[in-house]
């Protein structure tokens, strides 16, 4: 069982974290959970779809591949995209309550595969003479993206459902005359319904703060073509 502890510059002064991306660090996945706070960056690179989690609640994911455990953005050189989803950037870190309660604090899993102690590969968390290293400041930003985004997921889907925008989608990818992928159990924002909203409905969606997010989801679906291009290039190289 993974146990995280509150990060501090005494017990963890010599911790380093490997930041490169590889299958050994859990990056070989064909979809990843994403948050409303990163939709703008995500839609530039990946298709955004909705799925149901184990509790039956809607969640947003970025589609990374067509086969199980296939990340078409991952190769021997690392993650080939301008933006890596926050869930894959956070590495061994999570947000947790402080030991004395109060404000949320950064926690770390010292046994995580990315964690090392002393000299060697990896980014330091603390500067030699005190203070946070640049990488730890980056991690704090990533965790803010996740922490803030978690609070927005339910209100976002409620706003989308109130506007009648969510619809199931048949994700069909035709690679050749003989090779086709049918990806079930996804939903998206209906571009047709979004375009047909009247002024009052648009105003409600705008006031909820999720009108822009709806347009980002619609725009992101064009990135399925990027997955096809990467899949075909991988097949040709192999």
The set of residues, in sequence order, having a beta carbon less than 8 Å from that of 103 and lying 6+ positions away, is none
pLDDT band at 37 (very low <50, low <70, confident <90, very high): very high
Q: What is the pLDDT of residue 102?
A: 72
The answer to whether the pTM exceeds 0.85 is yes
| 99, pLDDT greater than 90 | no
* Average pLDDT of the residues in 178-206: 94
At 173 the pLDDT is: 87
Chain position carrying tokens 């109130």: 162
Better pLDDT: 128 or 33: 33
| Sign of the dihedral through C-alpha 219, 220, 225, 226 | positive
3-state secondary structure (DSSP) of residue 97: strand
Distance, CA of 73 to CA of 30 (rounded, Å)? 10
The residue ranges of DSSP E strands in 118-207, in sequence order, are: 123-124, 166-174, 180-189
- For 215-234, how does the pLDDT look when each residue is reduced to its tens digit (9 = 90+)? 999 999 999 999 999 999 98
Tell me which residue has tokens 């050749």: 176
pLDDT at 1 > cutoff 60: no
- Are the C-beta atoms of residues 17 and 123 closer than 8 Å to each other? yes
- Give the pLDDT confidence of 127-182 residue by residue, as tens digits: 988 799 999 999 999 999 999 999 999 999 999 999 999 999 988 888 887 888 89
In angstroms, rounded to a whole number, what is the distance separating the alpha carbons of residues 229 and 188?
22
Band the pLDDT of 100: cuts 50, 70, 90: low
pLDDT at res. 101? 62
Q: How confident is the model at residue 3 (pLDDT cuts 50, 70, 90)?
A: confident
* 227: nearest Cα among 88, 96, 31, 76: 31
pLDDT exceeds cutoff 60 at 64? yes
């Amino acid at each position: 069982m993974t146990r995280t502890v509150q990060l501090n510059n005494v017990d963890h002064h010599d911790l380093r974290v490997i930041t490169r991306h590889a299958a050994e660090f859990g990056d070989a996945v064909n979809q990843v959970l994403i948050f409303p706070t990163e939709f703008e960056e995500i839609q530039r690179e990946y298709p955004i779809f909705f799925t149901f989690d184990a509790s039956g609640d809607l969640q947003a994911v970025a589609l990374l591949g067509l086969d199980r455990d296939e990340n078409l953005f991952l190769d021997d050189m690392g993650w080939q995209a301008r933006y890596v989803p926050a869930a894959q950037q956070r590495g061994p870190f999570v947000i947790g309550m402080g030991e004395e309660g109060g404000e949320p604090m950064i926690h770390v899993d010292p046994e995580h595969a990315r964690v090392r102690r002393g000299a060697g590969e990896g980014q330091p968390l603390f500067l030699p003479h005190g203070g946070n290293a640049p990488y730890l400041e980056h991690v704090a930003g990533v965790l803010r993206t996740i922490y803030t985004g978690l609070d927005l997921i339910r209100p976002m889907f409620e706003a989308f459902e109130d506007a009648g925008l969510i619809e199931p989608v048949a994700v069909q990818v035709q690679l050749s005359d003989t090779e086709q992928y049918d990806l079930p159990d996804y939903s998206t924002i209906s571009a047709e319904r979004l375009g047909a909203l009247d002024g009052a409905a648009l105003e409600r969606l705008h006031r909820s703060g999720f009108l822009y997010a709806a347009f980002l989801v619609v725009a992101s679906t064009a990135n399925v073509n990027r997955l096809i291009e990467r899949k075909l290039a991988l097949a040709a190289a192999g």
